[in-house]
Amino acid sequence: MKPILRFFNILYLLWGFISFFIFMMLMLPFVWLSYVILNGKKANDVAFMFLNVWALGFNALMGYRYKIINKEFVKKDKSYIFVVNHNSYLDALAVVRVIPQSFKPLGKIEMTKVPIFGFIYKRLVILIDRSSKESRDQSVLALKEQIAIGQSILIFPEGTMNKTTSHLTDFYDGAFRIAIETQTPILPLTIINTKALMPRLNPTAIKPGLITCVFSKALEVDGLTLGDLPQLKAKVFAEMESRLTLYKGIPKQSD
């Protein structure tokens, strides 16, 4: 039975690649034109409308559904630093589908090497090469510039995909330092079940199912200094870990 199941999983994974590529090719011209015709936050807003179509189409063909909890915590006219846990490639599609405003994410420079996808990727994200201090410094400046024009940003504070059995891995300081230095509220988003649906270390175990996304109340940082950074980081870590513990057993129903 297991070889048969594995065969169908491989077919499903292949179907996922085909679906992703089809919608990527359909949306690529519109995303590109958004940044050619428009500038700044307006370009991001328009590009994200097409990214939503891309993610919606892929999820529909793959059988992924979403349960969104506390979406009302996100005010569309306010800028945030979204901090999100990272367990699977599905997280990138989840954030596009569930966050009700555009955002500029921090992303690894290595992804620009992926054919065709890299062309879109480098326009949508703030690139970072974590092995280079100069790149890290430049990415922080670029993120602050986005905040200055009213754009929300998104950071995976774990830095990379969590391949451990723990709910979360240690957070980097970056998101919290930027929040304090720009006095921008942090809004945690906890994504649940993507590791089970598409494991990073075993992609052929991919399957359809429910992805639960839980927003927490924004943490205001007014008046905080860099001396408060460890406490702020620990508070966000504890909040997201509690969400992972609380909602892992919720009923499988979608909003």
Q: In the predicted model, is pLDDT for residue 203 greater than 90?
A: no
**C-alpha dihedral sign at 216, 225, 143, 200:** negative
pLDDT computed for residue 164 by the predictor: 87
Choose which CATH entry (3.90.110.10, 3.20.20.80, 3.40.50.2000, 3.40.1130.10) describes domain 64-247.
3.40.1130.10
pLDDT computed for residue 251 by the predictor: 42
* pLDDT band per the 50, 70, 90 thresholds, residue 255: very low
The DSSP bridge partners found for residue 128 are 108
- Residue-wise burial string across 199-227, b where 16 or more C-beta atoms lie within 10 A, e elsewhere: bbeeeeebbebbbbbbbbebbebeebeee
Residue 16 corresponds to which tokens in the numbers above?
A: 């996922």
Report the C-alpha gap between 50 and 232 in whole angstroms: 34
pLDDT tens digit sequence for 163-179: 888 899 999 999 999 99
Confirm if 154 and 146 have CB atoms less than 8 A apart. no
Angle at 25 between CA 20 and CA 29, to 5 degrees: 140
pLDDT computed for residue 3 by the predictor: 74
* pLDDT band per the 50, 70, 90 thresholds, residue 105: very high
The DSSP bridge partners found for residue 239 are none
Q: In the predicted model, is pLDDT for residue 162 greater than 80?
A: yes
Q: In the predicted model, is pLDDT for residue 239 greater than 50?
A: yes
* pLDDT band per the 50, 70, 90 thresholds, residue 114: confident
Q: Span 110-117, mean pLDDT?
A: 84
* pLDDT band per the 50, 70, 90 thresholds, residue 121: confident
